[in-house]
Amino acid sequence: MKNLLLIAYLDLKESIRAKWFVVYSLVFGGLIALFFIAGVTESQVMGFSGLSRLLLMYIQITIVILPIFILVTTVRSISGDRDSHVLEYMLSFPISLKQYYWGKVIGRFVTVFLPVFFAMVIAVIYGAVKGAAIPWDIFFLYTGLLFAMSSAFLGIAFFISSFVKSSEVALGLSFFIWIFLLAFIDIALISLMMQERMSSGLIIFISLINPMEIFRVAAISLFDPELTVMGPVAFYILDSMSQTVFVLVSIFYPLFLGLIFAFLGYKIFEKKDLV
């Protein structure tokens, strides 16, 4: 336990000093600042105004950039250490592979989640100072969704990192996974739906097992519980489960997915040659 926390702590410290972390924090902090400067809280679009409007925009942008940030910065965590022979030296001390791997996972999770979370906290504090009503329910549910999405992509990144030999391949794979989940899968499913080769239910199911998609729909459902903006797809989802159950699934499914991938990554890390 002591070693696990030590690894997590050292990884956290190392990440905080890294340039990517500064950029990462500036992007999410800057987004919130930009929204305030642009007067998003004063605007009204589709009935959403104030902090709710700001959080809605924040989450929509986060869907796109958070996964790629997590993948790119984390995927080199173990493969980069292996590449540069850091792993060879650090593992020459009696530290178990389990503690090393999971310590890295915990340290990296804190690093990627906190800036995104703090950006939201800053928005809420600034909004409160300006006298805006704080949508606490949306704030807490978004925190849950961000936590779950961070877990999912962190798990996928550690999974890739555990078996890829070089950092370049790891980065290439990250970009592919990101663009695949962000766009390719939707384009493929839309074309399948248009050709009516598969049942619509199956297509919607495939779409929703994509952690980015379920996050997107859950985020919409917080503002629009009937999912009216989504059209007929809303019937398939809300006929299968209530909105509350759907939001819970949206939080626990990516969390579970992340843990599964991280665990698979650990098994590969344990069974493969270490350097």
Interacting residue ranges for another protein, rule: CB under 8 A: 2-3, 6, 10, 13-14, 17-18, 84-86, 88-97, 271-275
Choice between 46 and 275, CB closer to another protein: 275
Choice between 130 and 165, CB closer to another protein: 165
Q: Nearest approach, Cβ of 81 to another protein (angstroms)? A: 8
Paired residues of 45 in beta bridges:
48
Q: Nearest approach, Cβ of 14 to another protein (angstroms)? A: 5
Q: Nearest approach, Cβ of 98 to another protein (angstroms)? A: 10
Q: Nearest approach, Cβ of 265 to another protein (angstroms)? A: 17
Choice between 93 and 136, CB closer to another protein: 93
Choice between 96 and 191, CB closer to another protein: 96
Give Cα 255 to chain centroid, integer Å. 10
Q: Nearest approach, Cβ of 97 to another protein (angstroms)? A: 7
Q: Are 112 and 150 in contact (CB under 8 A)?
A: yes
Choice between 229 and 275, CB closer to another protein: 275
Q: Nearest approach, Cβ of 83 to another protein (angstroms)? A: 10
Choice between 91 and 233, CB closer to another protein: 91
Distance CA 33, CA 26 (A): 10
The residues near 261 (Cβ < 8 Å, ≥ 6 apart) are 152, 155, 156, 158, 159
Q: Are 183 and 245 in contact (CB under 8 A)?
A: no
